[in-house]
Structure 1
Amino acid sequence: MEKFKIHYLQVLLDRVKEKSIARFIEALKNEKGEPQALHCYIDAFRMDVDSFAECMVLNGFFMIELFRRNMNRGEYGEDEGNDAFLNIRLMKPRLARDMLLFENQIPLFVLRRLFALTEEKSETDRDFVELALGFFDFNGERIPHDEIGIDRLDDTPHLLGLVYTALVPETPEPPNNRRELSESIRTAVTLENLGVMFHEAQENEAFYDIRFSEGVLSIPRLVINDNTESFFRNLVAYEHHSHHHRVVDYLHVMDCLIKSSKDVELLRQCGIIENKLWNDVKVSTMFNHICSDVSFDPNKFFYNQMFDDVNKFCKNVPWKMRIAKLRKDYLGKPSSVVSSMVAVLLLLLTIAQLIFPIF
């Protein structure tokens, strides 16, 4: 990996017509926030300022060059844009996963400063946000950047924080309602048996925008692949240190709904889960494992009202809905009708035999 970092650095220096990284090291050393950067790393205290700044330049420029090449294939790479490094199979998802690890974060002001020192005439500070977020995928799509205001960008500590800020807009805290953990909702299969219907929410909804109305639980589609668990764990780690809990609350809801592969299968058939792991057991295990070590505050739970509405509905399910489900499950297909009739006939014969024993 180091040889690719050095290669990218040399290509970037050639493009901006610099012979060394001395100017960039001095720029970081003279940056007002430089002491803040030192405090972001425990091991940084064992390094002198020059060594630390050199490390930041090497790793920072590697990331920035990756962002630019990913967004502008054919403009920054050699051989007419045929970047051998980025074209290595599964290289980009691996890099994206490693860049978002909580322990791998570089202060965002360092990346923004290095970007500004090498930006093209047509680039702006907003372009850095677009380039950076464009490198990461979530839910099968590129992470949006239009909703991030410059004021929020200035308060973002690192790249993981930037991704979180793009995915989770600022929302007011829910009212503080005391709640017992026993009031959790049932699993997806159990809820369906009680008459709750599951629908995929509209495409423009945020992944955590789960709503319940008139017996219908609407959940945005979630694409699950090899990086999903790591992605969520990093978002949870960020929330733990930033005192947010939107993602933690969402994962708690999914953990309540999914306790087995049958629950995953139901949500997958409803279009709510797209399982690229090709194994429903792995998906249920993923949600259960993520939440096993994560605590949430039931008094500030974003889905308190939704849980109340679902539980109230389940206690007062109209009989006609239960009958409708019975018809759907057992009388919807000719084969089911025949099976049901045979079962009823056998039951009647059994009862008759008990009443009129055959000697």
Structure 2
Amino acid sequence: MEEEANHHAIIDMEKVIDRERLASTEQKISENPKLLSKAAGKKSCCIFRVPQSLVEANGKAYLPRIVSIGPYHRGQPRLNMIEEHKWRYLASLLSRTTQTQRLGLESLFKAIAPLESEARECYSETIHLDSHDFIEMMVLDGCFIVELFRKVAKLVPFEPDDPLVTMAWILPFFYRDFLKLENQIPFFILNQLFEITKLPGENSTLTLSTLALVFFNNSLQRPDEAIVSSAKGKHLLELVRSCFIPREEESKPLKRVVTPTHVIHCVSKLRRAGIKITPGNVSESFLHVTFRRGVISMPTLTVDDFMSSFLLNCVAFEQCYSGLSTQFTAYVTLLDCLINTYRDVEYLCERNVIENHFGTEGEVASFINNTGKDVAVDLDLCYLSHLFNDVHKYYRNSWHVQWASFKYTYFDTPWSFISALAALFLLILTVAQTYFAAYQYFDNPQNS
């Protein structure tokens, strides 16, 4: 009976298990991830899809508006207008190089073909393009960027009535779209195309990095020239990001600082505690924030369409790329702590810490709060660790808080000072009146 029951169980199990579906399950086990490939954790991978949590917080800030660079947004109909002009710019470049260097389209393909495998590894997603289409995309997008950089730097003239430069609204969108994390191609591809298409007599010391920074100069809050000259990156976003971080800061090992709290109070509360915020040195990067003797020094940050896009994409890059420091993430976390309402933004604008070309003070506050939302940063191990710790200690010092609160309440504005003075005068009159009334009462012999 037991053997018969086992036999029936085996038959029943064979009915339950679908061999075709089992084979399908085994195939899924053997397949590699495509949306976040295994190569995404390597140092070579540097071009990522922005995490969904950041997309939900900041909407379309990570999407290219007019031009697609690389594979992630390739072929989208809304970007076709500039796609057509890429071919025109490639034709312009080839007409020049064919005449001067006998360098044709085939030469460009041959120059990029050996770099295909390395270029594919730069993307966190598996790129479903065959070799020809992938190389064509690298050549087309890369030559468009390099040619545009040369034209803006006046190494090559624009064609007469070129709409990409005569229409004032287009270039500002290029500044932003070229610095979006999902809209990148590897810098070594750009550099290869730049080197082989150099003009006869072109300055041999002129680098693509310098040319790129000349292009972004109209929108970039450029810090010290020594930092700019040493800028490097795996793509244009990292190149421009590195301009704001001194080379020694990028490579300097950080020491863990255990802070009692990971919160700095908002501007309004800090002011009540006697902590002031002043603009820093204009030649410094806006990341150079210091705290000394109750004063937070912050170089002016211009908040506009370009800077808002740049900040968001730098933070997204730091969230994805493990081999990177987190200066931008720590900085926006600090801003998020300092700003709670539009009144905090008003004060920072009055102090020239923020230069607002973005919108209302409320819109700036909302932008800052969203930028700092759902980002991961170890505040015990970042370049602002000591600042968070020192501000917290100063804020917790009771006599600082009490004295500063008294001054803030009664002497912050002329009206509060006048009110306090009037109250004090009234108090003195009341005390004097009471004194003289008591004096007359006790001094009168009849009351004895």
* TM-score bin (small chain): 0.7 to 0.9
Cα deviation, 1:263-300, whole Å, max 9, x if unaligned, reads: 10000000000000231111111111011110111220
Structure-2 residue corresponding to 1:99 = 178
CA separation of 1:347/1:68 partners in 2, compared to 1, >3 Å: closer, same or farther? farther
Structure-1 residue corresponding to 2:245 = 168
Structure-1 residue corresponding to 2:279 = 200
Alignment of 1:152-231 (within 5 A): 153=232, 156-170=233-247, 171=249, 172-180=252-260, 182-231=261-310
Q: Does 1:317 align with 2:400?
A: yes
Provide the rounded CA distance (Å) in 2 between the counterparts of 1:326 and 1:183: 27
**Conserved? CA contact 2:282–2:299, under 8 Å:** yes
For residue 129 of structure 1, the aligned residue among 201, 209, 214 is 209
Moved more, 316-325 or 116-125: 316-325
SS of the residue aligned with 2:182? helix
Amino acid at match of 2:301: L
Amino acid at match of 2:181: F
The number of aligned residues is 339
Moved over 6 A (4+): 342-349
Q: Does 1:263 align with 2:344?
A: yes
Amino acid at match of 2:307: T
CA separation of 1:261/1:339 partners in 2, compared to 1, >3 Å: closer, same or farther? same
Amino acid at match of 2:383: F
SS of the residue aligned with 1:89? coil
Alignment of 1:336-347 (within 5 A): 338-340=418-420
CA separation of 1:77/1:206 partners in 2, compared to 1, >3 Å: closer, same or farther? same
**Conserved? CA contact 1:97–1:230, under 8 Å:** yes
SS of the residue aligned with 1:135? helix
Structure-2 residue corresponding to 1:291 = 372
Q: Does 1:69 align with 2:151?
A: yes
Structure 1 residue 84: deviation in Å?
Answer: 2.4
SS of the residue aligned with 1:112? helix
Structure-1 residue corresponding to 2:193 = 114
CA separation of 1:215/1:179 partners in 2, compared to 1, >3 Å: closer, same or farther? closer
Provide the rounded CA distance (Å) in 1 between the counterparts of 2:353 and 2:121: 42
Cα deviation, 1:170-227, whole Å, max 9, x if unaligned, reads: 31233112335x3522111211122112211011111111111112111010000123
**Conserved? CA contact 1:129–1:145, under 8 Å:** no
**Conserved? CA contact 1:143–1:163, under 8 Å:** no
Amino acid at match of 1:185: I
For residue 27 of structure 1, the aligned residue among 101, 105, 111 is 111
Amino acid at match of 1:238: F
Amino acid at match of 1:197: K
**Conserved? CA contact 2:300–2:353, under 8 Å:** yes
Percentage identity across paired residues of the two chains: 29
Structure-1 residue corresponding to 2:362 = 281
TM-score for both structures, normalised by structure 2 = 0.68
CA separation of 1:44/1:268 partners in 2, compared to 1, >3 Å: closer, same or farther? same
Moved more, 251-260 or 124-133: 124-133
Q: Does 1:235 align with 2:317?
A: no
Q: Structure 2: any 5+ residue segments left out of the alignment?
A: 1-81, 430-448
Moved more, 122-131 or 55-64: 122-131
SS of the residue aligned with 2:164? coil
For residue 4 of structure 1, the aligned residue among 65, 85, 89 is 85
Structure 1 residue 159: deviation in Å?
Answer: 1.4
Moved more, 38-47 or 193-202: 38-47
Structure 1 residue 301: deviation in Å?
Answer: 2.8
**Conserved? CA contact 1:248–1:296, under 8 Å:** yes
Structure 1 residue 304: deviation in Å?
Answer: 2.1
Higher RCO structure (Cα 8 Å, ≥6 apart): 2
Q: Does 1:38 align with 2:120?
A: yes
CA separation of 1:347/1:293 partners in 2, compared to 1, >3 Å: closer, same or farther? farther
**Conserved? CA contact 2:266–2:337, under 8 Å:** yes
Provide the rounded CA distance (Å) in 2 between the counterparts of 1:148 and 1:96: 17
Cα deviation, 1:133-185, whole Å, max 9, x if unaligned, reads: 222258753577643677x74xx3211121122222331233112335x3522
SS of the residue aligned with 1:298? coil
